[in-house]
Structure 1
């Protein structure tokens, strides 16, 4: 960036402002440490590195830190700076998932030794910052491979079913809240994430059969089941199909009824492609301030939509277009908690209240939450799930 001023004081102000945005309270210590040995380098950090380069809005702070940690990891021999910038990256809003993805990217272009060193340092920095990283691996179901997160242990199992278009990681901020009370199991539904290009789902019953297959392969005869959006509709279907498998249901931001928009969304992807689905999807899923902030939740959701297969996306919407659970809801035997987001445009509380016909059913509305409540209000959702299940597990949650 060519500065529009030759005024040294103005240049310094621009540089210090940009430096503070990245380094925060550490800025003065950094400049004092460098300046104690080289005032010239300290000055250049402000007037060149930050004022002339990093202050340029052509790249945002998060993007610059993403580039910085990737370059430092690939270069090698810069472990001290890498450690420092990993901390800055977290402070700028990079998520643990994005940092680990950078290390994986480094392995392709700079080799495994440097990628493994970067990953080791990243693990240490994440631990120092109290950041938890949930990790999934390949898992084989009857006719396809998926990705599975399984916290393990002998606690009561809880299966988490994700929304249409996303994958198991939409639960990654909720999982740490549930793990003290449950063996948490989350996986990619057929057609999404690690289960992309699996044989396409025929209907909700097909998805429910996958859950039954998963539990069987994990040696679980009964589980608490929590689902959001498409996942919530699958949870309802499973509760009707296989009541023997379901200890309780938590149905979040979901529908039991079909709407013409479902078929329209399938056709829109087929005629316009996935890029055209980003704006309508994200504006249904998030609030305007979420989109303006553009934190990990929004970046992750956008990437999921862009990378989805048109055929898988359309098959999932058509499964919802054929949903018809209304007359069967009274047959659900499991205790059921219905959870809605106050600001949800897709499945508002008024729609979710219509699900309150099961014999053992209660209702929670999470204030200010949009449709993708697991991504924007993870703590509140975790509390709602645990409050609905604590008397069924025999231990009250603690926050």
Structure 2
């Protein structure tokens, strides 16, 4: 493979289209400049493996945004970054980062390009003052039945982002549970009753008498406690990869956070949450989950696990009046299908479903399957 062939190969691998197409205008105007780009740039430093292709595109987007006046090139490399597996939310965060170093005008121009390329529709965001802390909530959709999503321990509302966009005809709301995301550093210790009261507070803040509530793992435990205490506030309940009783390992997880720190929680958490294939691919869901765990604090981590150790709602939903969906992942090593079947058996009239190939963190690794199951279960307003 000569330098021209190597350059064309790397251009396609990095940018996502053939050089003959992507650089056609350059070649028409200046064959010399075209050849220099292929043979000296793409066959040169761009072909070196010391810096990954996704990292190169993130660096290029940041530099073009900071330079300003290079919007066509910024659009090209935004598309290339997406092709390399960079998430739209990561590109938005990059533009926000640029504002601190290159100024707001260039960051705003970069955001406009990123939004045009990705077709992004930002979620409406608001801050909510609860009894003893402030949290952040986001909403997708303006009309239809209200759906409130509760995330897993160690993450934040963004765990639901891939699913939220796949539930049309609904007013979908997600918020940061106490000790997580914007609510990091909220008072500890606390109980599952406190976390359940937070959910009711969020419903009140949005003016919702009732809502369809969906909880995954820790979020599912909170949803069950709230449903047992306030069944009249629930239009339905969906329980994903969760439990209605504590496991002995919960206290071990709390102590490990305090004794070993958050970096030590990454391997045991991610290897339980994702399949080996997802970990090897290291796409946005895995990168996001890893970063969220690392950014947590031992106090919040331990506080949440100790609160979760207080979940005990077995048989308390036997007379729950609203529809209940119990959703298990076929490959879930934490709340196995057997555990989820037992939970469903203790809620008479509930619907049990099992998602093929789905691990514990199903909303991140298999969002389309989760959204399809929820779409079938949840009512929706007619959409155009």
The aligned counterpart of 1:231 is 219
2:359 corresponds to 1:370: yes
From 113, 122, 137, the equivalent of 2:126 is: 137
The aligned counterpart of 1:59 is 51
The aligned counterpart of 1:50 is 42
Q: Extract unaligned runs of 5+ from structure 1.
A: 1-8
- The TM-score, its normalising length taken from structure 2, stands at 0.95
From 207, 210, 223, the equivalent of 2:198 is: 210
Q: Which has the higher contact order (CA 8 A, sep 6+)?
A: 2
The aligned counterpart of 2:68 is 76
Measured in 1, the distance between the counterparts of 2:189 and 2:171 equals 27
**What's the secondary structure of 2:2's corresponding residue?**
helix
Measured in 1, the distance between the counterparts of 2:187 and 2:334 equals 27
**Count of aligned pairs between the two proteins:** 383
Measured in 1, the distance between the counterparts of 2:138 and 2:381 equals 24
Measured in 2, the distance between the counterparts of 1:150 and 1:394 equals 16
Measured in 1, the distance between the counterparts of 2:61 and 2:317 equals 51
2:352 corresponds to 1:359: no
My pick for the range that moved more, 372-381 or 195-204, is 195-204
Measured in 1, the distance between the counterparts of 2:24 and 2:372 equals 45
2:284 corresponds to 1:292: no
The two structures, once aligned, show a CA RMSD in angstroms of 1.8
| Residues 196 and 223 in structure 2, CA contact (< 8 A), matched pair in contact too | yes
Runs of 4+ in 1 over 4 A off after TM superposition: none
Query: What is the CA distance between 1:383 and its match in structure 2?
Result: 1.4
Q: Extract unaligned runs of 5+ from structure 2.
A: none
The aligned counterpart of 2:165 is 176
2:334 corresponds to 1:346: yes
Query: What is the CA distance between 1:156 and its match in structure 2?
Result: 1.7
Query: What is the CA distance between 1:381 and its match in structure 2?
Result: 0.7
Measured in 1, the distance between the counterparts of 2:179 and 2:277 equals 30
My pick for the range that moved more, 328-337 or 63-72, is 328-337
Query: What is the CA distance between 1:280 and its match in structure 2?
Result: 0.9
Measured in 2, the distance between the counterparts of 1:245 and 1:348 equals 29
| Residues 343 and 370 in structure 1, CA contact (< 8 A), matched pair in contact too | yes
Shift in CA distance, 132/298, structure 1 to aligned 2, threshold 3 Å: farther
Q: Structure 1, residues 211-243: CA drift from partner, whole Å, max 9, x if none?
A: 111111221111110011101111111110111
From 371, 374, 382, the equivalent of 1:385 is: 374
Shift in CA distance, 239/107, structure 1 to aligned 2, threshold 3 Å: same
- The TM-score, its normalising length taken from structure 1, stands at 0.92
| Residues 225 and 249 in structure 1, CA contact (< 8 A), matched pair in contact too | yes
The aligned counterpart of 1:222 is 210
The aligned counterpart of 1:319 is 307
Measured in 2, the distance between the counterparts of 1:336 and 1:200 equals 31
